[in-house]
Structure formats: structure tokens, C-alpha cells
């Protein structure tokens, strides 16, 4: 299958190690703005087509974020629970060392964490070989909350645009992992009322609002937000039909679909998860007046954090840059769209930036 178009991909590298039986792939989509940045995932059904799609998404995300990274992605074809995971990661790192970090910079993705990034950096021999490393290696792990903080900032800008005060705004959040917890934290600190949170066990709903610290304690001690004292327990999918000002899908893809889109009552949707609904579903909701902040606008805090780590910045500098860029880019997309189809507007801006960089690179080569 061919993927080529005017943007990329520039490079597809399949790797294999006969000793560990590691097989993997790297897709570098476009490097006009800088080295290709994108995570490594470990899944047993990895395909080049999937990795290319993710690499292209990173091209747009990094361009819109306004950081000097291109788009790339990679993967190892194995179960994330593989007993030989450490050996597979080391083998993968050795096979891609000639690309890193000048052409490709890995980061954590599905079933890959900070220790795996540390292993990649150690094998290749430079801390710049991966982002998302442990703090003691100069890393800025995503556990600091960069993505959730960015989602909060996008939500704040969307509420301002809709002329709705953040104080008292009702919010429903799908997922209470790294992104959902930090989004809830920052929103409640600003006075928003988080009325519902879901995890794999169901949805905790309390019209008067869920206390953040209590939620964290309940999740830690009971293993689920549904144990929140006094909250109604709903099915996880019922969260999407709750009446609220802001809905934040923050876990799985395609959770808003043809079967439940008519039940959505939120006035604003901020996409913390990747592809929580297909573009045609977004379009239908937009026509009904729902303001939707697309995923690669709202959840870019993680890749901005990766850039700050790459240049040796601090945690404080990371949060400052996330605030500056997420706020500015959300406003820019809202202004360009006029409150209409924000995904189209965001893609237009990202594509303009990439094409401009490609033209400048071509002109430099001609001189």
C-alpha cells in the first residue's frame, strides 16, 4: 500500500532483530519544521498503515503546537506484557540509532513508559535520543500533567469564547487516568463544577460537584471513581448524554458515534483523547451549535513538554510554554473558524505552516 502525497512520508524503515525476534517500523512523515517527533507503541497487531496515520497526525499536531518538530511515529510488533519487553526495546533502539535524534525522536506511547525511554536513551548513548524519560535523567515525564493542563487551558479559552464563566461551569470527564485527573484538578481549582467522571467501572455522577481530592483518594483506595461517597453510579457510556456545559472525552476513540450523538447535551466538547469521534460526527454537532475543540489542538501539551525536555528545559519552563502555546493556538483556531468547523480551521493552519517550511527548505537547497 502506498501513502505518498505532497507532505510525505519521507522515510519508512522496517527493522528486525533475528536474535530477539523483534520486528518494528518507523515512519518519518515530514521534517520540514524539524526532526520527526512521535511516540513508540508496542502492540501485537501493528501495521505500517496505522503507524503512517499516526505519524501524519503528529505532523499536524506539532505544526499547530508551534514547536520545531516534524511528524513521525514508530512501533514494535509485540504484546505490551511480553516477558522479553526490555530486550525488545533495546533491540529496537539499536536498530534505529542511525535515525535518532537528527531525523527521529521517540517518546512513550501505548504500552511504553519512562523506563523504556530511559533504555532507548542509554542504548543510543544520548539523553536527546528520547523524551518522556525519568526525572533523574533530565526527563519531563507526562505524569507531571502537561497534557491535562493543556486540556484545561483549551477548555478555559473555549468557555471565554462562548462567553461562559468558568466558575460554576459544569464539566463531565471521560477517563480518570493521567489526562483526566489533571484536567479535573486545574478545572476545579478555577471554580468549575466537575459533575461526572468515568473510568472502566462506570460513571460517578453528582450534580453538586465532585471534590477532586476525594476523587483521587477514592480512586487510589477503591480502584474506581464509582466508589465516590454519595455519587450516583451510571454506566460509563451514560456520561456522554449528561446535561453539562463542557464534555471532555479523554480515554477511548469513537465514543461519540451515530448511536449516541443525538443524546449529547454538552455545549462545548474538548477532545482530550485522540479521535473521540469521527469528523462527520464533529460536523453534525457543529451544525447544531456545539463548540468542539479538536484533539490535536487540546491535547498538544504532551508534545510541547517533549520539546522542552529535548532542549533541556525545566518543569516550570514546560508549564509556561504549554500555557503560552495552547492558549494562543486555541484562540487562533477559534478565530479562523469563526466558531464553525474547528478541525478544518486547525488543519488549514497546520498545513500552511508545514508547506511554508517545505518551501523555505527547498529554496535553501537551491542556493
Task: Give the residue numbers annotated as catalytic, written as ranges.
Answer: 73
Asked if 183 contacts 272 with a C-beta cutoff of 8 angstroms, the reply is: yes
| Measured distance CA(126)–CA(88) in Å, rounded | 19
* CA–CA separation, 244 and 203 (whole Å): 14
58 neighbors 36 (Cβ within 8 angstroms): yes
Say which DSSP state 11 is in: E
* Residue 23 half-sphere exposure toward CB, CA atoms < 13 A: 8
Number of H helices, E strands in the chain: 11, 13
Q: What residues does 172 pair with on adjacent strands? A: 196, 247
Query: Distance between CA 63 and CA 29 in Å, rounded?
Result: 12
- Enumerate long-range contacts of 186-194, CB under 8 Å, 24 or more apart: 186/148, 186/149, 186/152, 187/152, 187/155, 188/212, 190/152, 190/156, 190/166, 191/166, 191/167, 192/155, 192/166, 192/167, 192/168, 192/246, 193/168, 193/169
Backbone angles phi, psi at 208, to 5 degrees: -75, -15
Instruction: State how far the alpha carbon of 176 is from the alpha carbons of 44, 119, 182, 186, in Å.
Output: 26, 28, 9, 14
Q: How far is CA 110 from the centre of its chain?
A: 11
C-alpha distance from residue 193 to each of 172, 187, 214, 251 (Å): 9, 8, 14, 20
Question: Computed over its alpha carbons, how large is the radius of gyration of the chain?
Answer: 20
Strand partners, 197: 173, 204
- Please tell me whether residue 53 adopts helix, strand or coil conformation: helix
Q: Is the distance from CB of 136 to CB of 211 less than 8 angstroms?
A: no
Contacts for 12 with CB less than 8 Å, ≥ 6 apart = 3, 25, 26, 27, 28, 48, 52
Amino acid at each position: 500500500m502506498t501513502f505518498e502525497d505532497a507532505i510525505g512520508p519521507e522515510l519508512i524503515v522496517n527493522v528486525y532483530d533475528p536474535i530477539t525476534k523483534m520486528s518494528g517500523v518507523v515512519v518519518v512523515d515530514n521534517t520540514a519544521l524539524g526532526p520527526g517527533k512521535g511516540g513508540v507503541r508496542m502492540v501485537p497487531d501493528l501495521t505500517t498503515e496505522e503507524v503512517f496515520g499516526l505519524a501524519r497526525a503528529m505532523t499536524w499536531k506539532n505544526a499547530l503546537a508551534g514547536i520545531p518538530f516534524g511528524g513521525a511515529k514508530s512501533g514494535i510488533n509485540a504484546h505490551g506484557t511480553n516477558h522479553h519487553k526490555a530486550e525488545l526495546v533495546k533491540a529496537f533502539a539499536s536498530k534505529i540509532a542511525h535515525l535518532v535524534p537528527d531525523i527521529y525522536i521517540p517518546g512513550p506511547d501505548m504500552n511504553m513508559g519512562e523506563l523504556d525511554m530511559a533504555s532507548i536513551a542509554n542504548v543510543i548513548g544520548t539523553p536527546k535520543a528520547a523524551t518522556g524519560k525519568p526525572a533523574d535523567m533530565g526527563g519531563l515525564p507526562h505524569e507531571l500533567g502537561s497534557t491535562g493542563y493543556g486540556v484545561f487551558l483549551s477548555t478555559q479559552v473555549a468557555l471565554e469564547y462562548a462567553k461562559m464563566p468558568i466558575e460554576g461551569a459544569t464539566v463531565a470527564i471521560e477517563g480518570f487516568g493521567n489526562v483526566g485527573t489533571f484536567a479535573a484538578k486545574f478545572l476545579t481549582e478555577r471554580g468549575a463544577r466537575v459533575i461526572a467522571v468515568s473510568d472502566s467501572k462506570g460513571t460517578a455522577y453528582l450534580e453538586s460537584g465532585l471534590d477532586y481530592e476525594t476523587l483521587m483518594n477514592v480512586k487510589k483506595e477503591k480502584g474506581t471513581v464509582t466508589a465516590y461517597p454519595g455519587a450516583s453510579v451510571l454506566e460509563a457510556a451514560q456520561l456522554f448524554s449528561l446535561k453539562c456545559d463542557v464534555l471532555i472525552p479523554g480515554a477511548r476513540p469513537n465514543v461519540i458515534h451515530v448511536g449516541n450523538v443525538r443524546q449529547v447535551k454538552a455545549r462545548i466538547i474538548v477532545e482530550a483523547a485522540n479521535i473521540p469521534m469521527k469528523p462527520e460526527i464533529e460536523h453534525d454537532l457543529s451544525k447544531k451549535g456545539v463548540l468542539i475543540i479538536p484533539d490535536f489542538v487540546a491535547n498538544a501539551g504532551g508534545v510541547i513538554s517533549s520539546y522542552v525536555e529535548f532542549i533541556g528545559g525545566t518543569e516550570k519552563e514546560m508549564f509556561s510554554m504549554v500555557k503560552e502555546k495552547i492558549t494562543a493556538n486555541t484562540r487562533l483556531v477559534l478565530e479562523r473558524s469563526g466558531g464553525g468547523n474547528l478541525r478544518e480551521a486547525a488543519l488549514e493552519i497546520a498545513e500552511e505552516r508545514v508547506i511554508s517550511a517545505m518551501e523555505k527548505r527547498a529554496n535553501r537547497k537551491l542556493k
